[in-house]
Amino acid sequence: MKIKRHSAALGLVAASALLLSACGSDNAAQDANGGGSTGGEPTAAECGGVDQIVAEGASSQANAIDEFAAVFSGECAGQSLAYNPNGSGSGRRQFIAGQVMFAGSDSAMDEEERAQAEERCDSPAWHLPLVFSPVAITYNLPGVDELVLPSEVVANIFNGTITEWNDEAIAAANEGAELPETPITVFYRSDESGTTGNFQEYLTVGTNGAWTQGDGETFAGGVGEGRGQSQGVSEAVSSTEGGITYVEVSFANNAGLGIAQIDAGSGPVPLTDETVGAAITGAEITGEGNDLTIDLESVFGTTEAGAYPITMATYEIVCSAYEDPEVAAGVKSFLNVAATTGQENLSEIGYTPLPTEFQDRLLAAIDEIA
């Protein structure tokens, strides 16, 4: 790995500054995420390497990373993780610059970034999908406790073609339900977001051509009202009868909002760990060897019965080989804990635990980091 000897200050939540060179870390620095034990007996985790692992990246996985960090510190005494949830792009840049040991990213690196990362590592960089976040289509419709939305109907709501809740296309998918004449109020993320990017890719791939507005991290539907951040859209729907939005499931649950079942052509599918797990297990891997880059079109476009299609993957981007064996051992220790016992409480905070088949493949890749 080509070492960048300069250090960078990382704006971590509970630390004023943290200085790191790519081949090591300041072992005296405190864990910015609060660390802490899970309170249970230690497991058979293979602990070792640097005392503190430092990483940066996607905010979408921040709560999951906090959970992983707590379990890791409990199982590997004296070791901790400091994670700066400063965004996917920042994480990739800091990783390429040699300022962090791994990066969290809601999207895979492009070809230029891959080449830069390989130069930094002096080995290929791998994408390891560790955190999966289902996106809920959440709504506020008193008296309608269950709602089925075919994928094409989702597209036509968010492009403004369907404007009332008793539209015949919605009624046809919800036979027997008393749907009001209430106008539909669409809320979307006004800021650029990975959630919007993933949602619009689902609309592009999985709605049989009903969505023609394109994808990207800026909402392109041309209808509705914008709100900042996930909290903003969920609060807007909560206070607006007839409101609808797309948001990470934890925000929908926290606001007590309805979550639509999605019918991608094989019947209604509720959002559960099992249905998201089915989509993950069926995902196609486009990366080579232990680079587990996922073809998200195979998730967003799934028509498999019982598979929920709107699911974001967050990668941990790592060097396949690190120059400093202590850094490699520390990264492997953390990732092994995160991929096993760290998954146990993810459902409670709005993420989907890794299905067994996918977990086995991920652990095999982690084991090959050198």
The residue behind tokens 């587990």 is 292
In the predicted model, residues of the chain with pLDDT beneath 70 are 1-45
Q: What's the pLDDT score for residue 35?
A: 35
Q: Which domains does the chain have, with CATH numbers?
A: 135-275 (3.40.190.10)
Helical spans, DSSP H, in the chain: 62-75, 88-96, 111-121, 151-158, 168-173, 194-206, 229-238, 249-255, 273-281, 297-300, 325-339, 356-367
Q: Are strands 258-259 and 125-139 parallel, antiparallel or unpaired?
A: antiparallel
- The confidence score (pLDDT) of residue 23 equals 33
Rounded (10°) CA dihedral 94, 99, 101, 107: 0
Q: What share of the chain is helix, strand, coil (3-state, %, to 5)?
A: 35, 20, 45
CA 316 from centroid of its chain's CA atoms: 11
Identify the pLDDT of residue 195.
87
Task: Tell me how long the chain is.
Answer: 370
Compute the distance between CA of residue 309 and CA of residue 303 in angstroms, rounded to an integer. Answer: 8
Quote the pLDDT of residue 45.
Answer: 67
Do 220 and 213 form a contact (C-beta atoms < 8 A)?
Answer: yes
DSSP string, 151-177: HHHHHHHHTTS--BTT-HHHHHHSTT-
User: pLDDT tens-digit profile of 298-354?
Assistant: 999 999 999 999 999 999 999 999 999 999 999 999 999 999 999 999 999 999 999
pLDDT at site 4: 36
Q: pLDDT at position 18, please?
A: 33
pLDDT of residue 6: 31
pLDDT of residue 209: 96
Whether the model clears a pTM of 0.85, i.e. scores above it, the answer is no
User: Do 219 and 226 contact (CB within 8 A), yes or no?
Assistant: yes
Measured CA distances, 148 to 169, 172, 271 (Å): 11, 10, 11
253-292: per-residue pLDDT in tens? 989 999 999 999 999 999 999 999 999 998 999 999 999 9
Residue pair 268/261 in contact (Cβ under 8 Å)? The answer is yes
- The C-alpha atoms of residue 250 and residue 349 are separated, in whole angstroms, by 6
55 neighbors 83 (Cβ within 8 angstroms): yes
If DSSP codes are grouped into helix, strand and coil, which group holds residue 216?
A: coil
Exposed, middle or buried, 151 (CB in 10 Å: 0-12/13-18/19+)? buried
